[in-house]
Chain A
Amino acid sequence: MKTAVIVYPGSNCDRDAAMAIERVTGTAPAMVWHGEPSLPEGLDFIMVPGGFSYGDYLRSGAIAARSPITADLIKKAESGVPVLGVCNGFQILTETGLLPGTLMRNSGLRFVCEKAPVLVETTNSRFTRAYGESRELTIPIAHHDGNFFADDETLNRIEGEGQVAFRYANNPNGSARDIAGVTNAAGNVLGMMPHPERAVDADHGGTDGLKLFESVLGGAS
């Protein structure tokens, strides 16, 4: 199992991401600095972690989406490598165009950190197949710009195509149709605002995020 976590200036969930991956695979991921010209070859999984890349300046994720390493990320995602973007990682992935929609400021205008009830919308995905019957999860959220927005046509399409992976049970940020996580049409790229990497340890945020990593990391090995 060969995995990588991209580290942008201002990424701050990179260590959490690495710990979660290592917990499931037994092997530490490669930590790839944004200034590197490319990601390692032969990766089975790439994670774009949360944080405040470039201080959220200009627009969350906008500058990171144009960072040198991101060009290679887009190439690898388009070739089918599974990619998970969490929080700021989700924002970056929408900025690259790999995922539909965008993340606006929370409707309450304040940063929100809580353990959020999240519904698994489909278990028919490489990121959620291990969830089986357990539909409602508790996963920590922590963001200022998590209000998912897309036009109705896009929303209808992604719902119709089964690209909505997670919804909030109690919408904390005004997201359209309670959407908490979406995949691309091919199903190999997932972006989500809740932090599954903070829910892999009973002593920390619970273990409801573990199956996501098991789904995507277990199957490909």
Chain B
Amino acid sequence: MTELAENPRYAEGIDEQIVLEHVTADEYEIILKELGRAPNLVELGIFSVMWSEHCSYKSSRIHLAKFPTKGERVIHGPGENAGVVDIGDGQAAIFKMESHNHPSFIEPYQGAATGVGGILRDVFTMGARPVALMNALRFGDPKHPKTRQLVSGVAAGIGGYGNCVGVPTVGGETNFDKGYNGNILVNAMAVGLADTDKIFTAAAREPDFPVLYVGAKTGRDGIHGATMASAEFGEGSEEKRPTVQVGDPFTEKKLIEACLELMAEDAISSIQDMGAAGLTSSSVEMASSGGLGIELDLDHVPQREEAMSAYEMMLSESQERMLIIVKPGREHVAERIFRKWDLDVAVIGKTAEHGRLVLRHKGEVVCDLPLDPIGENAPKYDRPHFPAEARARINPAQLRAPEHLGETLAQLIGTPDMASKRWIWSQYDRHVMADTAASSEDPADAAIVRVHGTNKALAITTDCTPRYCAADPFEGGKQAVAEAWRNLTAVGADPIAITDCLNFGNPERPEIMGQFVGCVEGMAKACEALSFPVVSGNVSLYNETDGRAIPPTPGVGGLGLIPDMAKRAGYGCMSEGDVLLLVGETAGALGASLYLREVEGREDGAPPKVELAAEKRNGDFVRAQIREGRTAAVHDLSDGGLACAAAEMAMASGCGTKLAYTGPVPLFAWLFGEDQARYLIAARPDAAEAMLAAAKADGVPVEVVGLAGGRFVSINGGHAVDIIRLKQAHENWMPTLMAGEPEANAAE
């Protein structure tokens, strides 16, 4: 580095404009103070990505600290690449969810594909073999001219990557709302399995250990991807396409196998994938979390293109790369394995005592920074936040009752949020690895994946109801966690922990920050009450275009354990003569409901309140009944309430339901209200008797709401709608949408 004569404000070749393309004016002052000199361009680039919202969590950190993160099954909570929980018998489940929103909007196929690749690496970096993928997708209005192309590209990208890597994509959720017209959400979740004594972490342990680069070569793709993902969209977003990374699932598959092979040897000291901000964040995080320093010689970095600068190499987000610190003298073991798999492997540096990041390129030191300000001491902001205005409750008595409730049910079951997403998930390999016991195609509230070679299974779900979060962030946050817990319970699993993916607009706007804080506090409250800690997660802010923010969408990825595969539940095995039992209390909550939006065309009202004590009590009861073998079918009640749950059970079972109104709320509110903490159970009459007795003893509200039978869903003997008709409405919506002609005003 050129010796600076008298600490000028800008290093050679840098001016104020270049600085402001990287950091804010205030942040530049901090850098000058920390360094005691002006940073060069490479250093400025490193600060820029490390202090980006995406990498530093500068707006969210102080609030994320509110989450409960400990529990008797938690082995590693937030702070590692993924959360790790104990599933007994010396095994652990390792999981995380992450967003790839901004890139997927700009380039849907590659954006979604690399989202899958990135989340897989977070999981196998820790020693896990990935066993399941999930995704939570939010698109704009189905009629918006961009929606079809985005749906089609995202689905193909997720499938293209997951199918090739050979990890089943077992479930997820897809919503459509005009609030996502300018910013779609692509949240991917991966779950892996490892032995508890074979878990790898990122923190560097010892100085003078060799640092290995393995995987794909570094190119110029994805430079400044993390920075792009930390900004709003506006005019010219399409020009950001070069910041989107390009994935190669074939290389990822080889990387998984090679890493797992190396992990079986005694060679790795610590390991970290190169995700956002690539070589920069991986090297900084490894050294910084280990309290050490790191020195890299960039001449040794495998490069795909000629004449790459240090700046480009450090900021590239080329995919399928890992950084491994190996035990001295064990480099040859890694070299042998990675060569076998035709992957690049190179020693590019070593750990050091000095606590600095030192980079050499072409014989010169091109960066020499203290690590603390870049990583651990990155800026943290307590941004101003306003709470959302409380909304009035909706009184169902003041709404007009529909004339034919069966018709209303058929309408709801075919709405974008309720309709089958077969068009999407039929493009995902859901069966590879031969352990999928329930996936998107199966009538179950959570995906079920057997723990290979055992009789246990993981239950996995992703949940969030953005309507509720927009109406009341705190209740909406609680509900997202409670619904995940309920879905796991409904398949007979013990809920263990969650990962989260918090998608919001621009945190510099106090009302958006208010949504964020409200949702986080609601989630924390529910996690606490349900003993359902947060073990990993991701925050995606600035999901905003031209000042219009997405609905607040704190996605929750829940994981549970089914101790015995024989004692699991689904909702497709209801049969003639089964008694229908409703667990939980019904108040006819229609505020912010699907019914209100789709039938009344209104999106107002307070969302249903989540009573966490009732949630716990009712869920524990349902799980116990499943394990007693008393249930034939179990379904949680969510969007569309009791009627939609009954319709889904009827369609899946090929058996109708005769619902019998129990009052006291108006009939349509009884059918479509979205009160929380409720389940619908079908059981043989004697088993139903036993459950009613157990419920009475336990003080759990359970009532008989009808019988299974016939081929209609009917209410009090009327309002009948044929199951076939429901199925048509349910199955036809999405194929019809996707087959539609492009809108004339496609330029909008």
Structural contact, A142 and B164, CB atoms closer than 8 A: no
What are the residues of chain B within 8 A of A20 when measuring CB–CB?
Answer: 434
Report how far A51 CA is from B432 CA in the complex, Å: 9
Report how far A119 CA is from B540 CA in the complex, Å: 49
Report how far A121 CA is from B342 CA in the complex, Å: 42
Structural contact, B254 and A9, CB atoms closer than 8 A: yes
Residues 413-451 of B, flagged 1 when their CB comes within 8 A of A and 0 if not, give: 000000000000111111111111100010000000010
The interface-forming segment of A90-98, A125-133, A161-169, A199-207 is A199-207
Report how far A203 CA is from B452 CA in the complex, Å: 12
In whole Å, how far is A159's beta carbon from the nearest beta carbon of chain B?
A: 29
Structural contact, B253 and A10, CB atoms closer than 8 A: yes
Structural contact, B429 and A52, CB atoms closer than 8 A: no
Q: Does B340 make an interface contact (CB < 8 A)?
A: yes
**Which 4 pairs show the lowest CB-CB distances between chains A and B?**
A12-B166, A55-B250, A16-B434, A142-B429
Q: Does B192 make an interface contact (CB < 8 A)?
A: no
Q: Does B565 make an interface contact (CB < 8 A)?
A: yes
Report how far A126 CA is from B404 CA in the complex, Å: 59
Q: Does A56 make an interface contact (CB < 8 A)?
A: yes
Report how far A204 CA is from B166 CA in the complex, Å: 16
Q: Does A114 make an interface contact (CB < 8 A)?
A: yes
Report how far A55 CA is from B164 CA in the complex, Å: 7
Report how far A57 CA is from B249 CA in the complex, Å: 11
Query: Which residues of A, 107-146, contact B by the 8 Å Cβ criterion?
Result: 110-115, 140, 142, 144
Supply 14 further A-B pairs (C-beta < 8 A) apart from A56-B250, A204-B450.
A9-B342, A12-B432, A15-B434, A16-B434, A52-B164, A55-B248, A55-B249, A111-B428, A113-B163, A142-B163, A142-B432, A198-B432, A201-B434, A204-B437
Report how far A89 CA is from B681 CA in the complex, Å: 44
Given A204-B434, A205-B431: A111 and B163 interface contact (C-beta under 8 Å): yes
What are the residues of chain B within 8 A of A197 when measuring CB–CB?
Answer: 434
**Which of the four size classes fits the interface of chain A?**
20 to 34
Q: Does A32 make an interface contact (CB < 8 A)?
A: no
Structural contact, B426 and A113, CB atoms closer than 8 A: yes
Give the most central of B160, B165, B253: most A CB within 10 Å: B253
Q: Does A76 make an interface contact (CB < 8 A)?
A: no
Q: Does B156 make an interface contact (CB < 8 A)?
A: yes
Give the most central of B254, B427, B432: most A CB within 10 Å: B432
Report how far A113 CA is from B253 CA in the complex, Å: 20
Structural contact, B435 and A204, CB atoms closer than 8 A: yes
Structural contact, B432 and A111, CB atoms closer than 8 A: no
Structural contact, A113 and B430, CB atoms closer than 8 A: yes
What are the residues of chain B within 8 A of A201 when measuring CB–CB?
Answer: 434
Structural contact, A115 and B441, CB atoms closer than 8 A: yes
Report how far A198 CA is from B433 CA in the complex, Å: 8
Structural contact, A10 and B250, CB atoms closer than 8 A: yes
Given A203-B437, A204-B434: A54 and B429 interface contact (C-beta under 8 Å): no
Report how far A54 CA is from B253 CA in the complex, Å: 10
What are the residues of chain A within 8 A of B441 when measuring CB–CB?
Answer: 114-115
Query: Which residues of A, 49-88, contact B by the 8 Å Cβ criterion?
Result: 50-52, 54-57
Report how far A50 CA is from B432 CA in the complex, Å: 9
Number of residues on chain B facing chain A (CB within 8 A):
32
Report how far A55 CA is from B248 CA in the complex, Å: 8
What are the residues of chain B within 8 A of A142 when measuring CB–CB?
Answer: 163, 429-432
Query: Which residues of B, 116-170, contact A by the 8 Å Cβ criterion?
Result: 156, 159-160, 163-166
**Complex: chain A residue closest to B429, CB-CB:** A142
**Complex: chain B residue closest to A198, CB-CB:** B431
Q: 7 A-B residue contacts at CB 8 Å?
A: A52-B166, A52-B253, A55-B248, A56-B250, A113-B163, A142-B430, A204-B450
Structural contact, A15 and B431, CB atoms closer than 8 A: no
Residues 1-38 of A, flagged 1 when their CB comes within 8 A of B and 0 if not, give: 00000000110110110011000000000000001000
Structural contact, A52 and B432, CB atoms closer than 8 A: no
**Complex: chain A residue closest to B455, CB-CB:** A203
In whole Å, how far is B406's beta carbon from the nearest beta carbon of chain A?
A: 30
Structural contact, A13 and B426, CB atoms closer than 8 A: no
Structural contact, B436 and A113, CB atoms closer than 8 A: no
Report how far A58 CA is from B425 CA in the complex, Å: 27
Query: Which residues of B, 309-353, contact A by the 8 Å Cβ criterion?
Result: 340-342
Q: Does A195 make an interface contact (CB < 8 A)?
A: yes
Report how far A195 CA is from B436 CA in the complex, Å: 14
What are the residues of chain A within 8 A of B431 when measuring CB–CB?
Answer: 113, 140, 142, 195, 198, 204-205
**Complex: chain B residue closest to A144, CB-CB:** B163
Structural contact, A56 and B427, CB atoms closer than 8 A: no
What are the residues of chain A within 8 A of B426 when measuring CB–CB?
Answer: 110, 112-114
**Complex: chain B residue closest to A203, CB-CB:** B437
Report how far A207 CA is from B431 CA in the complex, Å: 14
Report how far A172 CA is from B111 CA in the complex, Å: 28
Structural contact, B437 and A113, CB atoms closer than 8 A: no
Report how far A197 CA is from B431 CA in the complex, Å: 10
In whole Å, how far is B157's beta carbon from the nearest beta carbon of chain A?
A: 11
Report how far A205 CA is from B430 CA in the complex, Å: 10
**Complex: chain B residue closest to A7, CB-CB:** B257
Given A10-B254, A12-B165, A51-B166: A110 and B434 interface contact (C-beta under 8 Å): no
Structural contact, B249 and A52, CB atoms closer than 8 A: yes
Given A10-B250, A35-B340: A16 and B432 interface contact (C-beta under 8 Å): yes
Report how far A111 CA is from B161 CA in the complex, Å: 12
What are the residues of chain B within 8 A of A203 when measuring CB–CB?
Answer: 437, 450, 565
Pick the contact of B433 from A10, A15, A52 — CB < 8 Å?
Answer: A15
In whole Å, how far is B8's beta carbon from the nearest beta carbon of chain A?
A: 50
In whole Å, how far is B429's beta carbon from the nearest beta carbon of chain A?
A: 4
**Complex: chain A residue closest to B428, CB-CB:** A113
Residues 170-213 of B, flagged 1 when their CB comes within 8 A of A and 0 if not, give: 00000000000000000000000000000000000000000000
Report how far A10 CA is from B249 CA in the complex, Å: 9
Structural contact, B436 and A204, CB atoms closer than 8 A: yes
Report how far A15 CA is from B431 CA in the complex, Å: 12
What are the residues of chain B within 8 A of A10 when measuring CB–CB?
Answer: 164, 250, 253-254
In whole Å, how far is A173's beta carbon from the nearest beta carbon of chain B?
A: 12
What are the residues of chain A within 8 A of B165 when measuring CB–CB?
Answer: 12
Structural contact, B249 and A198, CB atoms closer than 8 A: no
Report how far A54 CA is from B342 CA in the complex, Å: 11
**Complex: chain A residue closest to B155, CB-CB:** A110
Given A110-B427, A142-B429: A56 and B435 interface contact (C-beta under 8 Å): no
In whole Å, how far is B519's beta carbon from the nearest beta carbon of chain A?
A: 34
Structural contact, B250 and A112, CB atoms closer than 8 A: no
In whole Å, how far is B422's beta carbon from the nearest beta carbon of chain A?
A: 9
What are the residues of chain B within 8 A of A205 when measuring CB–CB?
Answer: 431, 434, 436
Report how far A195 CA is from B565 CA in the complex, Å: 23
What are the residues of chain B within 8 A of A57 when measuring CB–CB?
Answer: 250
Pick the contact of B250 from A13, A15, A54, A114 — CB < 8 Å?
Answer: A54
Pick the contact of A113 from B251, B429, B434, B450 — CB < 8 Å?
Answer: B429
Pick the contact of B427 from A9, A13, A55, A111 — CB < 8 Å?
Answer: A111
Report how far A57 CA is from B431 CA in the complex, Å: 23
Report how far A217 CA is from B434 CA in the complex, Å: 20
Report how far A139 CA is from B163 CA in the complex, Å: 18
Report how far A92 CA is from B218 CA in the complex, Å: 31
What are the residues of chain A within 8 A of B434 when measuring CB–CB?
Answer: 15-16, 19-20, 197-198, 201, 204-205
**Complex: chain A residue closest to B251, CB-CB:** A55
Report how far A195 CA is from B163 CA in the complex, Å: 14
What are the residues of chain B within 8 A of A16 when measuring CB–CB?
Answer: 432-434
What are the residues of chain A within 8 A of B248 when measuring CB–CB?
Answer: 55
Given A112-B427, A203-B565: A9 and B435 interface contact (C-beta under 8 Å): no
Report how far A19 CA is from B431 CA in the complex, Å: 14
Give the most central of B250, B429, B435, B450: most A CB within 10 Å: B429
